[in-house]
Structure formats: C-alpha cells, structure tokens
Amino acid sequence: QQPVQSPQAVILREGEDAVINCSSSKALYSVHWYRQKHGEAPVFLMILLKGGEQKGHEKISASFNEKKQQSSLYLTASQLSYSGTYFCGTRGGSQGNLIFGKGTKLSVKP
Amino acid sequence: NAGVTQTPKFRILKIGQSMTLQCTQDMNHNYMYWYRQDPGMGLKLIYYSVGAGITDKGEVPNGYNVSRSTTEDFPLRLELAAPSQTSVYFCASSYRTGMNTEAFFGQGTRLTVV
C-alpha cells in the first residue's frame, strides 16, 4: 500500500517554514525521506526507525508517530536550495522492499 | 566510488522492440530495486531483489523481467516495448536489511517508446 503524502505542492518564500506529511493505512516500521531535484536522482535525507523518533538534517527535521502511522518532515527557514520534490518511503512487504508516496513538490522563491 | 551505475542514460525504442537496462553497484549491497517514474508522479517499484538469485515483484511488474546472477548486477528487461513504458527508470541499492539503511540511486535511464 503506497504511503499518502500531503500536501501535493507547496510554494514558499525564502525563510518560511513548511511541513510535509506522510501517512499509511498499514503499520509503519520505519520511514525514509528523500529529496529529488529536477532531472536528478532522489537523494537520501534521513530514516526514522522508531516510534517517537525525531531526527534533524541541517534545518530539515522529521518525526515519526508509530501509533498514528504517520511521519512529518519539517523544513525551517527555507532556502532556495530546498526546492525539489520530497518523497517518503515505507516498507511494502515482508522482505523489506521500499515503496514511495507520490511526492510533495516544494518551490522556494526569493 | 562509482556507487550505482545505470546504462544507457537515454534510449528511444520502437513499439515491439526489446531492450535491457543495465544496473551495477560496487558497494556490496544485497538489496537492489528498479523503479519507474512518470512525469509528475512518484516512484513506482517494478521489481526488487534481496540478494543474488532472489527476485520479487513490486507494484508494477507487468511487461518487465529481471535477473540477479551476481551481487553487483541487476538488469531490467523490457520485452515487446509499449508506449506506456515511456518513463524514467531508476535503479537503487541498499545494504543488508533494506528498510533500515538508506537507498542509493543511479542517475536514471530516460526511455521513450514510439
């Protein structure tokens, strides 16, 4: 079951904050977050492995609520370089395959 | 380190032709994946492998085949290409328990079927 991301798209001004959500109808064991810039391959940001875990990567952080089966990615004081499409990934089956949501397109304007 | 290498980068196929997309990684990763990405859409899992000799279907396997004879290589075969297979294809790999480690992606193969 593909995870569901919201919103589909976000437009920000430099310095503004954004939150991207990822939820699943199935139990979440871990959540991956990736960013893809136009015409490039997805690049890993972080993995959250436990319920309640929070992680940070520069001014980008994430939380994982196992009970609610959701994760959120927080982008604070956004920079132009944050523009791209953000994907969350979760386990799709027992063998640990990795399936992704449809992505959230983030555009940061000057 | 080369990481995950995909070839070719671009290809145009005629309807009904066949081709193999090559993927190789030099990180000794057990897990390998093939995804397709249509314009404005997310990444759809085609096939994946948890080790040499073991492959399994993902979300959209129809029209594709894979093999994993070595740890390093995971080719994707398209038989009887159709316009619906026009897409960007990404190969990825991860170490051991795939869900607990990051996936590394190749630079993609842009395929057009005409």
Q: State whether residue B103 sits within 8 Å of chain A by CB.
A: yes
Residue A33 forms beta bridges with which residues?
Answer: A46, A88
- Give me the pLDDT at residue A54, please: 67
Provide the 8-state DSSP code for A80. Answer: G
- Give me the pLDDT at residue A72, please: 94
Give the residue, A98 or B112, on which the prediction is more confident: B112
Question: A12 — phi, psi (to 5°)?
Answer: -125, 160
Q: Indicate if the pLDDT at residue B59 is higher than 70.
A: yes
Residue type, A54: Q
Which residues in chain A have their CB less than 8 angstroms from residue B102's CB? Answer: 32, 44, 47
Question: Which of B33, B42, B94 is the closest to A101 by Cβ?
Answer: B42
User: Of the given ranges (A60-69, A74-83, A100-109, B68-77), which has the lowest mean pLDDT?
Assistant: A60-69
Q: Is A9 exposed, middle or buried (0-12, 13-18, 19+ CB in 10 A)?
A: exposed
Q: Which two tokens stand for residue A66?
A: 């196992």
**B window 20-79, beta carbon within 8 A of A:** 31, 33, 35, 41-43, 45, 48, 50, 56, 58-59
Question: B83 — phi, psi (to 5°)?
Answer: -55, -30
Q: State whether residue B2 sits within 8 Å of chain A by CB.
A: no
Q: State whether residue A4 sits within 8 Å of chain B by CB.
A: no
Q: Which of B8-22, B38-52, B89-103 has the highest mean predicted lDDT (pLDDT)? A: B8-22
Q: Which of A57, A100, A104, A105 to mutate to test the interface with B (most CBs of B within 10 A)?
A: A100
- Give me the pLDDT at residue A2, please: 87
Q: Indicate if the pLDDT at residue A67 is higher than 70.
A: yes
CB B75 within 8 A of CB B23: yes
Pairing of strands A31-36, A43-48: antiparallel
Which residues lie closer than 8 Å to A58 by C-beta, 6 or more apart?
none
